[in-house]
Structure 1
Amino acid sequence: MTDDVSLFGLFWKARWEVWLVMVGLMACSVWVWAIVIDKFLMYARTRRSMDRFEQAFWSGQSIEELYRTLSAKPTQSMAACFVAAMREWKRSFESQSRSVAGLQARIEKVMNVSIAREVERLERRLLVLATVGSAGPFVGLLGTVLGIMTSFQSIAASKNTSLSVVAPGIAEALLATAIGLIAAIPATIFYNKFTSEVNRQAQRLEGFADEFSAILSRQIDERG
């Protein structure tokens, strides 16, 4: 009876240590794709949210009215930055002291904190992609080394070095490296893509924060 050297045959007949490595890498690959799908959906929602907010903000609608609308519900991204700035603005002018000293700096601070939180949300779980992308090939190589060592031990025990004896064990061991690359390559590609996307959205948030800070600064000068 000949050995099954198909991919599935090699996987199911793999030695337990190599099999554990391959199962772990396949689990990481599934995790990577779950993160990729989630991030695609998240970034698309965030872009649409920014577009809707900018359309409302620059439509000529009163910022007071826009604040009342947005503050009544949970906000994220650009809307959260706007609400945080407006909350600090109103807290300063509606207090009895009506203190505007340092208001500009406080507004910029709360917007920076809001942007940092948004970037943290966008970057969540990207470290998993980076880890799988960098460590996946080495974990696969570990499975290959373990498989080859076991194959050589079997060859020494059977004292048979024919290709029909050696080939299945070597192919089984190399399959671990292949699975490691299958997990690592998409993880690396999408990590780079998502990092670039986070940077673009962060720059968009910072651009809005600068523009809104300038608008509030003029209002402060007028009221001062």
Structure 2
Amino acid sequence: MTNINIIDLFLKASFIVQFVMFVLIVFSIISWTIIIQKTRTFNNVFRENLFFEKKFFSNFDLSSLYEKSKIHINNLIGSEKIFYFGFKEFIRLYNANTYSSDAVMKGVSRVIRISMNRELVSIEINIPFLGTIGSISPYIGLFGTVCGIMNTFIAFGSIKQITLQMIAPGIAEALIATAIGLFAAIPAVMAFNKFNLCINKLEQNYDNFTEEFLVILHRQVFFLK
């Protein structure tokens, strides 16, 4: 049985096949970089949200909670950041003598929604690129395979008797491009689907939190009046 040396096959492949393989390897590296980074980001956001929401629902003194958040304003993420900007707007509108409770709640609700959308947008960065890698990598690999097979048959086109031993290395070189394409695509697609589920879950969590937050603020409007 002949051992297949992938590096040797890569070095002997035609320029087009080598270029295709290189592009796919770069895609795979980028894909895994995004996967590792986003996995850490999601874990951090879910952990921080859980920690803050426990404090939020166990302590209805929103002013003290706001002051604590204000101390580390530059490090706020997720629910705590939404709370901070929402309560900041609440204080601003109240101090501006906006005595209409509807006006206060509309202003606060708008700021909360904007903050929530910004949080979702920031965490979605680079995730669509995973979908792109997952969808195009197999086709790029297939393109490399087709080019490799074409070059192999063209090279042996003038020979009358062609044996399998003669064309096998060329076909193997070509098929490696498809294999690398799948290697780049499969993790990217799996991560893309997983991260989209995480975003949907995060959006639901934010929606539930903001609804509870607005209810509490609405009560405080009447209490303060």
TM-score normalised by structure 2 residue count:
0.93
Aligned residue number for residue 61 of structure 2:
62
Which residue identity is paired with 1:209? Answer: T
Count of aligned residue pairs for this structure pair: 221
**Greater CA deviation, 172-181 or 101-110?**
101-110
Aligned residue number for residue 180 of structure 2:
179
Q: CA deviation at 1:160?
A: 4.5
Aligned residue number for residue 161 of structure 1:
162
Q: Which runs of 4+ in 1 moved over 4 A?
A: none
**Greater CA deviation, 192-201 or 65-74?**
65-74
Q: CA deviation at 1:60?
A: 2.1
Cα distance in structure 1, aligned partners of 2:16 and 2:68:
58
Contact 1:4/1:10, CA 8 A, preserved across alignment? no
SS state of the match for residue 58, structure 2?
coil
Matches within 5 A, 1:56-95: 56-60=55-59, 62-72=61-71, 73-74=73-74, 75-95=76-96
Aligned residue number for residue 150 of structure 1:
151
Which residue identity is paired with 1:147? Answer: G
Aligned residue number for residue 23 of structure 1:
22
**RMSD across aligned positions (CA):** 1.6
Deviations 1:51-96 (A, max 9, x none): 121122122252101101112322121011101110111001112x
Matching of residue 35 in structure 1 with residue 34 in structure 2: yes
Deviations 1:88-133 (A, max 9, x none): 11001112x3343511111111111111111111111001110010
SS state of the match for residue 58, structure 1?
helix
Q: CA deviation at 1:174?
A: 0.8
Which residue identity is paired with 1:175? Answer: I
SS state of the match for residue 13, structure 2?
coil
Contact 1:126/1:191, CA 8 A, preserved across alignment? yes
Cα distance in structure 2, aligned partners of 1:98 and 1:189:
50
Q: CA deviation at 1:216?
A: 0.8
Unmatched runs of 5 consecutive residues or more in structure 1: none
Matches within 5 A, 1:196-207: 196-207=197-208
Aligned residue number for residue 123 of structure 1:
124
Which residue identity is paired with 2:140? Answer: V
Q: CA deviation at 1:158?
A: 4.3
Cα distance in structure 2, aligned partners of 1:114 and 1:165:
64
Cα distance in structure 2, aligned partners of 1:4 and 1:48:
48
**Greater CA deviation, 164-173 or 214-223?**
214-223
Q: CA deviation at 1:50?
A: 0.6
Identity %: 34
Q: CA deviation at 1:222?
A: 3.3
